[in-house]
Structures are given as structure tokens and as C-alpha cells.
Structure 1
Amino acid sequence: MRSANIRRDGYLKFLNTWQDRDVIKVLSGVRRSGKSTLLAMFQQDLKAQGVQAENIIAINFEFMEFEELTDYRKLHDYVLSKVDKVKKLCFLDEIQHVTNYEKVVDSLYVRDYIDLYITGSNAFFLSGELATLLTGRYIEQHVLPFHSKNLNSGILKIIRSSNNYPIVICMPCIRAVVSLYACHD
């Protein structure tokens, strides 16, 4: 199996534009649209620009190792234990898995030494109480699945680099399952 990440520069530009600004950066969208991949790419870009790994707090709530942190108090304590009032970038991926996540998001936001980024798959996770609580405090970017422009820029490189045909493609990380048999005329 072959795997390749396709850069989605428009979404990365959004994250770069709002970096270090006093606003919560929110990526929302359907499952498998690429939100987690975008956060990972952005973190790689930050490290390439000289941001030290210890200044990045990254938690993906779909990983079991973070299951204990789905309690908002434990998450809050964990994040605060990682900061020493030196500017930290905090990435909370799939935040809707955290009970009462709006409380921890609000508490982290008010600390000027935390630059907060969150993602969520649930279309309603910014509705109701959270939207009211954070009005004027967040900027949202809705992430859409790939479209032909994205695919043309990246998947063709994968196809051209192989003498085999890719037979399965899915989003957000293009996974091309290459036929076990070489193509014969």
C-alpha cells in the first residue's frame, strides 16, 4: 500500500494567517475531510520554521492513549501542566469527544500564552452553548473533502510514479492500493 499526503495550501494559509492571533482557530467538516491531516501538516510546517516541539501540544481524541483526557477537567489540568507561561500552540483534534469541551476551550482561550486550534467532525459542535460562549472569540474554516483540483495536483504524481494502477483512493490521505500484478498488454 502506498500513501501520500496532498498539501491543501488554501487551508494551510488560513492557519498561518490566524497564527498567534487572539482568536480560537476552528477547523470543522465531515469525517475524513482532512482536518487532522491539515493540523499535522501545519505542525510540521511550524517545526520547519523553527518552532520547538516542546512548544506544541497536540492531542487527537480519536487515539485511545488520550481517552482519559476526554474528561474536561483532566484535559484542562494536562494542558496546563505542559505550559510554563511561555507561548504554546495547543491543537485539540476532534474536541467533540471531550465532555463539556466548551468549558476547557474557554478556559484555555483566556490565557494569552496559549494559541488554540480545535477541530470537530460534528456539524453541530459549534452550535448552541459553545457558539454563544465563544461569540467573537473564534474563526471557523469549514474543510471540504477533496475535489478534482486537489486530486489533479497530487494523485497524478502517484499514478505516474508507478507501473501499476492504483485501484482504491480515499480521503483525506490519498491511499492508493496498488495491484499486486503488473499491468500487461
Structure 2
Amino acid sequence: MKAIIQKQREERDYLLSLNYMPRKTKYNVDELLQSKQIKLITGPRRVGKSTLGLLMLKNKNFAYLNFDDANLLEHWDENIVNETLKSVYPNYEYLLLDEIQNLDNWDLWVSKLYRNGVNMFITGSNAKLLSSEMATVLTGRYIQIELLPFGLKEALEWEGIDGDMNRDDCRKRASEALKRIKEGGKDEN
């Protein structure tokens, strides 16, 4: 388990080294960090939920688990994971649980962590995270941060379109921005 979580830490550190366009939410990040409620980042596929979680915690002491990792799911043992997190991320202040809906009975584990005072950020799909069973277990314990695909302003900003560009460059980049809006985000390399 330690090797799995250590590899995920390396993945987290690599992702944090990349440049991203900041996304705006209706919440103040400092207030979210201070809140003991679970921060639940939801939205459609490929809109940047994981990236938003990483950016909110950048420069903070936080642990990270990615539940898109089959090895983590196959070797899952709650007690071993809890101890390994403390070893790999000594004295972490926040815990980012990425795509946690892939873990069976995840809501019970999260509820236990919450009762133990762990300050958590969780990402995942709306349908699975906000099912009626989960809502019952975590009612009143979370703040939902809904992330949507780029709007026109964000897409134009991403493509670097500004008022000082020549018309041909502007057209080309606007076409790319509209494609990005239609597809919902940046393609993976």
C-alpha cells in the first residue's frame, strides 16, 4: 500500500508542477480551507474537478488519493490506508480524495474521517456522489462546489484572445475556443 500511495504522491507533485488556468467559483478559497465541512467538487466529466481541487490546495500540506487507480482499489484496507497516509504525508492538514465514488461504501469511510476531524476535499461525478444513500450519510456535512465547462469568456482567455490581436489570429483562436466550449475542456495528451 505504501508503494501505491507514494506513487500517487509523485503523480500529485507532477500535476502541481503544471500550469493551469485558474477557475472561478462562488466560494472564497481561504474560507473553504478553514471550513471543517467536506468540500465536494462536482460537475460533468472533463471539466477540471481534480485540477480545481489541486489548485485550491497548492502550497498547502495535503494528502492525495486517486481512486481511478485500480491498484488502490484492489488492495484497499481502510486501516492500512489511514496509517500509510500518515507515513507518506506526515502531519497533513487536508485530504484530497479524487474520484472517490469508485470506492465501494466510500461514504461510510468519509463520514468516519469527518467525525475524526479530517479536513477533506472530494471530487467526483454528480450522479454517484449525490445519490440518495450518500446524501443521507453526509447531509449537512458538505459544501457542494459545482464546476461547469468553460464559458465563452474562459474559453477566449484560455486561447489567449485579447483586443490587440490581428483579425486572422483572432478568428483562428476564436474557432479553437468555440471547439473547446463544445467539447467541454482541454484534451489530454
TM-score, reference length from structure 2:
0.68
Q: Which amino acid in 1 is paired with 2:41?
A: L
Question: Could you say which residue in structure 1 is the equivalent of 2:145?
Answer: 141
Write out aligned runs for 1:22-33 (5 A). 22-33=36-47
Distance 2:101 2:48 in 1: 16
- Alignment partner, residue 92 of structure 1: 97
Relative distance call for 1:100 and 1:76 in structure 2 (3 A) is farther
Question: 2:110 aligns to what?
Answer: 105
Q: Any conservation in 2 of the 1:90–1:117 contact (CA below 8 Å)? A: yes
Give, as a single letter, the amino acid of the residue that structure 1 aligns with 2:62. I
Q: Distance in 2 between matches of 1:79 and 1:56?
A: 14
Distance change >3 Å, CA 102–CA 76, structure 1 → 2: farther
Residue 60 of structure 1: CA displacement? Answer: 1.9
Q: Secondary structure at the match of 2:77?
A: helix
Judged with a 3 Å threshold, the aligned counterparts in structure 2 of structure 1 residues 71 and 101 are, in CA distance, closer, same or farther, namely farther
Q: How many Å separate the matches in 2 of 1:76 and 1:137?
A: 23
Structure 1 stretches of at least 4 aligned residues deviating more than 3 Å after TM superposition? 13-16, 84-87, 165-172, 174-177
| More helix as a share of residues | 2
Aligned CA-pair RMSD: 3.2
Residue deviations 1:40-94, cap 9 Å, x none?
Answer: 22232xx1xxx3xxx31112222xxx32333695255313432389452100011
Higher strand share: 1
Between 1 and 2, higher relative CO (CA 8 Å, sep ≥ 6) is seen in 1
1:154 aligns with 2:158: yes
Aligned to 1:180: none
2:55 alignment counterpart? 41
Pairing 1:6–2:21 present: yes
Q: Percent identity?
A: 29
Is the deviation greater in 121-130 or in 138-147? Answer: 121-130
Alpha-carbon distance in structure 2 between the residues aligned to 1:149 and 1:75: 43
2:121: which partner in 1? 117
**Do the aligned partners of residues 20 and 80 (structure 1) sit closer, same or farther apart at CA in structure 2, a change above 3 Å counting?**
farther
8 Å CA contact retained: 2:62, 2:92:
no
Gaps of 5+ in 1: 178-185
Deviates more, 1:134-143 or 1:77-86: 77-86
Q: Distance in 1 between matches of 2:131 and 2:75?
A: 18
Long gaps (5+) in structure 2: 1-17
Normalised by the size of structure 1, how large is the TM-score? 0.70
Shift of 1:16: 3.2
Distance 1:15 1:131, change over 3 A: farther
